[in-house]
């Protein structure tokens, strides 16, 4: 897997990049959610605790979509 890291100045807004083969309605929904959200976290259902958790964007390394599920990789999962 190719990994890209770009350090930006503190004054610049952080951003998200999708490297995908096809733009689907699911991807469009994610992009819309990210663009409209003023929160700095993602709300996701935990598989280990069976409850929703707030995951700060700054803790997320990457997201993986596999078999109609999204896996979120953070400091705690890697």
Separation in Å, CA 42 to CA 22, 53, 56, 71: 23, 8, 6, 12
Residue ranges of domains in the chain: 25-74
pTM of the predicted structure, to 2 decimals: 0.52
pLDDT tens-digit series, residues 5-39: 788 888 887 777 888 888 988 888 888 887 887 77
Beta bridge partners of 60: 74
Cα distance between residue 77 and residue 23, in whole Å: 27
């Amino acid at each position: 897997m190719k990994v890209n890291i770009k350090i930006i100045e503190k004054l610049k807004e952080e951003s998200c990049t999708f490297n995908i083969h096809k733009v689907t309605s699911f991807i469009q929904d994610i992009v819309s959610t990210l663009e409209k959200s003023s929160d700095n976290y993602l709300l996701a259902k935990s598989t280990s605790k069976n409850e929703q958790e707030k995951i700060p964007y700054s803790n997320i390394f990457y997201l993986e979509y596999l078999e109609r599920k999204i896996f979120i990789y953070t400091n705690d999962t890697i």
